Amino acid sequence: MSSHAKLSRFESLQRIWIQEPEQRTRFIALGVISLCFIKYICTIVYRLYFSPLAPFPGPKLAAATSLYEFYFDYFKKAKYYAEIERLHKVYGPIVRINPLELSISDPAFYDKVYVAGNVRPTENYSHFASGIGFEGTFFLSTAHDLHRKRRKPFEPYFSRLGVTKLEPIINEFVKKLIKRFDSFKGTGRVVRLDHAMLAYSGDVIGHICVDNPKELIEDENFTPEWYDLQHSMIKCMPLFTEFPWIIHIIKWIPSQILVWIDPKSECFNVWRASAKKHIEQVKSDKHRMPEEGTSNLGGRPTLFRYIVNNSGLAESDLSVDRLTKEAQILLGAGSVSTARTIHYIVFYLLSNEHMRKRLEEELKDAMAEWPEKKLTWAQLEKVLYLQALIKEGLRHSYGTMHRLPRVSPSAAFQYKEWTIPAGVPVGMTAYLQHTDPEVYPRPFEFIPERWLSNVTPQMTRSLVPFSRGSRNCIGMNLAYAEVNFMLAALFRPGGSGFELFETDESDVVAAHDYIVPLARLDSKGVRIIFR
């Protein structure tokens, strides 16, 4: 091309740029689109051929874009867990399931991924649950040392010894719920058991956290809006995780408008306001502890009064905003899974007369004088069939069904012939652990008797409803105690007085992985009737 032609081309572009704004806008837009397209293509090429994860097996589409996972979790309603199971059958025990993450299906390797901090520093995967707006809580603190620092003050409260001190408050809410159930006997009243159990577990953790929160059990219908809100939030997780900026937009919307859009959110606002008010009050008390007998917990300080006064955390970690988020996380995590485990077990007890009669027989002497004489958690652990039911219920309800990715920030580690680079998220799931037919024959059948004889080390090792390692579920002991006390009270001598109402197995069996498992989405819930 001659220099004259080049000059003419340049002058033409210059004229468009200066004199034709519409053409200039199109030119800029085309340039931006072209750059984005080139960047996207380069990203895909890098992920497929140059990423440290490029050698690992798995579908190319999953390696190229997170939209592969998003398709199954959003459009297929949280079904990626089933696709991951299929991918393991096709590609083997280690699979690349998205551009940045590996999944392993091998029960023997679980304790190598979910390790204690003194074995290898472990971080969470910062992208996991990044869109829910609770960054800064100990649960979502990424750095190993920061997570340990923020979590450590909570541990004494939820230790085995700490939970034994909470037995009176657990028993108080068991008694309140049973009193309401007893009042329904002979009335033909139909009750959503899943609502009632979430109200129970929500009241326990609520009263542990703050002074005098609203009691969910006292609501005429066991606060269905609280159940609906929790599950509406859970169902939004795939969208928020893929597009975390959405939650930041929602934060700017006035609460009055959100309540107008979704009236159920008012319940959440009330509890958040209660938690915030309590924490502000605690911080203004200038390190005064409550006088004996003045708190929810019989003189023991609430969890957040204890944290503010005794944790030794830096003032920046004791901000009202951060501690309010901690309270919200604990309320959700400390109620939904526990409630699901209880109503899951109750469903099978009501569906199987042999199971129910055997439990009632074993509880006959132990619970004969309840509630005047209350057994301790340690005493209930000696009721072997009750413990078998709880283990089988936890196996089927999974706790957290979703994989919980872990990252080794500075050291690579080995899985068979595969070297997993430092910084790579690796996830395993309770679902795959709990349904391995080599460990649990007939894995999808509810068989509590499997825990009474011939219990193998592999069975115990593969039961991970609370995960393991330095980031395991801090509320494990509380959940065990709540489940024990409630089941014992429901099936004490002359206790139940109710039966299933228009409820079948599809109303309880996990079908969708919204972090926690949900049954079919069109279910009307687990319903019981008092004849």
- Confidence bin at 292 (pLDDT 50/70/90): very low
Handedness of CA 247, 248, 249, 250 (dihedral sign): positive
User: Residue range 257-264: average pLDDT?
Assistant: 62
CA 70 to chain centre: 19
pLDDT(48) > 90: yes
First-to-last C-alpha distance (Å) of the chain: 94
Over pLDDT 70: what percentage of the chain? Answer: 86
Alpha-carbon span 17 to 28, nearest angstrom: 10
Handedness of CA 43, 44, 46, 47 (dihedral sign): positive
Q: Rounded to the nearest 10 degrees, what angle do helices 384-397 and 476-490 cross at?
A: 120
- Confidence bin at 296 (pLDDT 50/70/90): low
Q: What angle do CA 273, 278, 279 make, to 5 degrees?
A: 100
Domains of the chain: 8-112 (no CATH), 144-529 (1.10.630.10)
The single-letter code of the amino acid at 360 is: E
Dump pLDDT digits (tens) for 333-387: 888 999 999 999 999 999 999 999 999 999 999 998 898 998 999 999 999 999 9
DSSP per residue, 212-271:
SPPPSTTSTTS-HHHHHHHHHHHHTHHHHHH-THHHHHHHTS-HHHHHHH-TTHHHHHHH
User: Residue range 88-115: average pLDDT?
Assistant: 96
Dump pLDDT digits (tens) for 431-448: 999 999 999 999 999 999
pLDDT of 284 reads 81
Q: How many residues does the chain have?
A: 531
The pair of structure tokens assigned to 202 is 């929500």
- Confidence bin at 151 (pLDDT 50/70/90): very high
Q: Rounded to the nearest 10 degrees, what angle do helices 320-333 and 193-209 cross at?
A: 150
pLDDT of 6 reads 52
Which of 184-193, 296-305, 404-413 is the least confident region? 296-305
Known binding-site residues for heme equal: 473
**DSSP state at residue 403:** -
Handedness of CA 36, 40, 43, 49 (dihedral sign): negative
Q: What angle do CA 498, 503, 505 make, to 5 degrees?
A: 120
User: Residue range 287-306: average pLDDT?
Assistant: 64
Q: Are 62 and 96 in contact (CB under 8 A)?
A: yes
User: Residue range 181-206: average pLDDT?
Assistant: 94
457 prior amide bond cis, ω within 30: no
- Confidence bin at 474 (pLDDT 50/70/90): very high
Average pLDDT taken over every residue of the chain: 87
User: Residue range 250-276: average pLDDT?
Assistant: 65
pLDDT of 33 reads 79
pLDDT of 162 reads 93
Predicted TM-score (pTM) of this structure: 0.89
pLDDT(294) > 50: no
Known binding-site residues equal: 473
Residue 133 CA neighbour count, 13 Å, CB half: 18
Dump pLDDT digits (tens) for 480-497: 999 999 999 999 988 778
Dump pLDDT digits (tens) for 500-518: 999 999 999 999 999 899 9
Q: Are 213 and 205 in contact (CB under 8 A)?
A: no
pLDDT(291) > 60: no
The pair of structure tokens assigned to 252 is 């700017």
Helix (H) or strand (E) holding 198: helix 193-209
